[in-house]
Each structure stands twice: as C-alpha cells, then as structure tokens.
C-alpha cells in the first residue's frame, strides 16, 4: 500500500503546498466546468475560466508548455463561448447543432495550425527532448478543436474531448500530476455522458423543428 501511495503521490513531496492546493482547486473547478457542459448550462464558462487560469500559472511554472497553451486557449475560448451561448438570434439563444462542412474545414485548420505552433514553442524553448512533446502536440490540437466546437455548441465537441481525455489521463500520470490524471480519467466518463445527453437534446430539438 505504501509503495502504491508513493507511486501515485510521491512526487508531491517536492511541490510547494500552495501549488498542491492550486492544482486541487483547479481540478475541482475543472470538474464543475465539465459537469455544467454535460448539463448544457452556461456556468461551464465561468467555472472553466477559474480552472484554466489556475492551470496556466501552474503549467507555466512547471514548464509544460503544450499543456499551458491548451489552458490559455481554453481561457480565451471560454470568454468567446460565454458570448456565443448568450447571444440571441431572432430572440432565441444559440442551440446545440451538428458541425457543418465549413466548420469541419475550420476544425482541420485549427488542428494543423496548433501542431505547428506547439512544435515551434517546444523547439524555441529547447524542450523538444522527450516523446511526451510529440503526444502534447497531438492532444493540444485535439483539445483546441474540441473547445472551439463546444464554444459554438456543436455536438461533435464531445468526440474530441473523449479522445483527448483518453490520451491525457495516462500522460499526466507519467508526468507526475496524479490529481490531474485522475481528473482526465473522470472527464472521459463525463464526456461520454455529455455526448449522450446532448444527443438526446439535439434529437428532441430536431424532432420539433
């Protein structure tokens, strides 16, 4: 039991207590954000702003640049998504919908541009030294697309979250961020339920349209 505890949490002996408290706080607000996203509730964005703001600081401090970029992007897109979700067209708020061809092309461009950006950041910082940098590049692209689609209230955003979370859970554990690893594991389950919940809402909306 002690060996298991040491494997999962031993790295925290080297962290400052304030950083541990910040990581736990960021994880909790991250849970709230994903839960509100599953519920299709506007509070996904203010809770997400708190979580991502914390992780931008921590990941910058720990020199996890790809992950830091993800959270900085989340922070910006949360502001954008908050605006889109509250914007009214013909006196009606934005509804859940399916991704159109133009948005699929934009998603591909976001993914490719993100790969290039992350590679340049890692190389300029001299951190392109581990296989995790390659995985970071891919997951960053996946999450960038997922966040953009969620901000636009597209049901396909959940597919990107599921794939990205499945990759990220073991990756964060390998990096020594156990609490964050557990967060992504639970995020995967919530994302599956989120997709099913949004699909039910969308089907009901299409049936009455």
Cα 151 from Cα 82, distance rounded (Å): 7
Query: Above 60 in pLDDT, residue 7?
Result: no
pTM listed for this prediction: 0.81
Write out pLDDT tens, residues 18-69. Answer: 888 898 899 899 889 989 998 999 999 999 999 999 999 988 887 777 678 7
pLDDT at 3 (0 to 100): 57
The pLDDT confidence band at residue 144, using thresholds 50, 70 and 90, is: very high
The pLDDT confidence band at residue 90, using thresholds 50, 70 and 90, is: low
pLDDT at 1 (0 to 100): 54
DSSP state for residue 89 in the 8-state scheme = E
pLDDT at 71 (0 to 100): 87
Q: By the 8 A CB rule, do 84 and 42 touch?
A: no
Q: Measured between alpha carbons, how far is residue 66 from residues 122, 132, 134, 139, 176 in Å?
A: 8, 10, 10, 9, 16
pLDDT at 13 (0 to 100): 58
The mean per-residue pLDDT over the stretch 109-134 comes to: 82
Q: Of all helices (H) and strands (E), which one includes residue 190?
A: helix 178-208
**Alpha helices of 10-130 — where are they, by DSSP H?**
17-38, 44-61, 65-86, 101-124
Phi, psi values for residue 126, rounded to 5°: 70, 30
The mean per-residue pLDDT over the stretch 107-112 comes to: 96
């Amino acid at each position: 039991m002690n060996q298991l505890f040491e494997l999962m949490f031993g790295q925290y002996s080297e962290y400052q207590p304030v950083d541990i408290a910040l990581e736990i706080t960021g994880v909790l607000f991250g849970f709230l954000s994903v839960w509100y996203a599953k519920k299709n509730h506007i509070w996904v964005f203010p809770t997400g702003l708190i979580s991502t703001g914390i992780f931008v600081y921590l990941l910058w401090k720990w020199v996890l640049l790809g992950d830091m970029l993800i959270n900085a992007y989340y922070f910006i897109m949360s502001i954008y998504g908050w605006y889109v979700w509250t914007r009214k067209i013909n006196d009606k708020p934005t509804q859940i919908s399916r991704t159109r061809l133009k948005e699929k092309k934009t998603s591909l461009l976001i993914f490719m541009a993100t790969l290039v950006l992350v590679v340049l950041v890692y190389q300029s910082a001299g951190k392109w030294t581990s296989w995790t940098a390659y995985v970071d590049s891919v997951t960053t692209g996946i999450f960038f697309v997922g966040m953009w689609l969620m901000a636009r209230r597209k049901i396909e955003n959940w597919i990107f979250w599921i794939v990205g979370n499945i990759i990220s859970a073991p990756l964060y554990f390998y990096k020594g961020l156990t609490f964050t690893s557990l967060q992504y594991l639970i995020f995967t389950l919530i994302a599956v339920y989120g997709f099913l919940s949004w699909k039910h809402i969308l089907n009901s909306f299409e049936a009455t349209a």
